[in-house]
Amino acid sequence: MDPETYNPQKVQKEDVDAIREKYGIPDGWNMLLFVGRLAWVKGVRNLLQAMPMVLKEYPNTKLVILGKGEEQADIIETAERLNIKDKIVYRFDFVSEEERILHYAAADVCVFPSIYEPFGIVSLEAMAMEKPVVVGARGVVGFKEQVVNSGPDQNGVHINGEDPADIAWGINETLSNPEKAKNWGENGRRRVLEYFTWRKVAEETSKIYESLL
């Protein structure tokens, strides 16, 4: 993941506005974004079950789901059963990197409630785009090393991806203070630049080899 490619300064406002307009998200509304394979381990159905609790606190909110997978039919059925389908946008498609970057730029909060995720590149992409992130951080989930959950360097919230109430809490906590969320996003990009560039990975790998020689 190249933070110069995933750089909010390189995105045009009119392109971001076009994404939100396409999904019927007016100015002043919250756009939540999930990007990933639509599989059980990604926690997307639990995210849908969290949405009524989010909408109770923040009714002017839409969730955009970007991805493909075996859960597509279940996602549609769950949204209809919960009577929230007008607040959910499905994009069951693989999109180009350029378009994915625009989706990150358009979002207010990125939510990745994975139950199992050894590393998780989407969180780093969102962080590089200065977005606050709500991530699954229970069990084998690489997100919990990427995302700082408290303190001055906080850039998001850790939740239990198996618990819709906890997912809703994390989203509501992030939406509760836009200025705080903006600061988290800025912290996230700084963290990517410091720890998660390919150059940094190469340096750390080289240190490991040197220690073994």
Residue 209: band (very low, low, confident or very high) from pLDDT cuts 50, 70, 90: very low
Task: Name the average pLDDT for the chain.
Answer: 91
Residue 211: predicted pLDDT? 55
Average pLDDT over residues 174-191: 97
Residue 200: band (very low, low, confident or very high) from pLDDT cuts 50, 70, 90: low
Answer whether residue 2 is part of any domain: no
pLDDT over threshold 80, residue 8: yes
Average pLDDT over residues 153-167: 97
Residue 210: predicted pLDDT? 52
Share of the chain above pLDDT 90, in %: 83
Average pLDDT over residues 102-114: 97
Residue 77: predicted pLDDT? 97
Are the C-beta atoms of residues 124 and 1 closer than 8 Å to each other? Answer: yes
Number of domains in the chain: 1
Residue 33: predicted pLDDT? 98
Any idea which of 26-40, 76-90, 116-130 has the lowest mean pLDDT? 116-130
Contacts of 166 (CB under 8 A, 6+ apart): 159, 160
Answer whether residue 200 is part of any domain: yes
Residue 199: predicted pLDDT? 58
Answer whether residue 13 is part of any domain: yes
Answer whether residue 145 is part of any domain: yes
Residue 191: band (very low, low, confident or very high) from pLDDT cuts 50, 70, 90: very high
Residue 117: predicted pLDDT? 79
Give the C-alpha distances (Å, rounded to integers) separating 42 from 99, 123, 146, 185: 21, 12, 17, 22
Task: Calculate the CA dihedral of residues 67, 196, 41, 161 and round it to 10 degrees.
Answer: -110
- Domain span at 135: 8-212
Answer whether residue 3 is part of any domain: no
Residue 90: band (very low, low, confident or very high) from pLDDT cuts 50, 70, 90: very high
Are the C-beta atoms of residues 131 and 109 closer than 8 Å to each other? Answer: yes
CATH label of the domain that carries residue 75: 3.40.50.2000
> What is the end-to-end Cα distance of the chain in Å, rounded?
29
Sort strands 30-35 and 156-159 into parallel, antiparallel or unpaired: unpaired
Residue 114: predicted pLDDT? 93
Residue 143: predicted pLDDT? 85
Tens of pLDDT, residues 12-57: 999 999 999 999 999 999 999 999 999 999 999 999 999 999 999 9
Which residue is it, tokens 């849908």? 48
Concatenated DSSP letters of 178-209: HHHHHHHHHHHHHHHHHH-SHHHHHHHHHHHH
Answer whether residue 193 is part of any domain: yes
Answer whether residue 1 is part of any domain: no
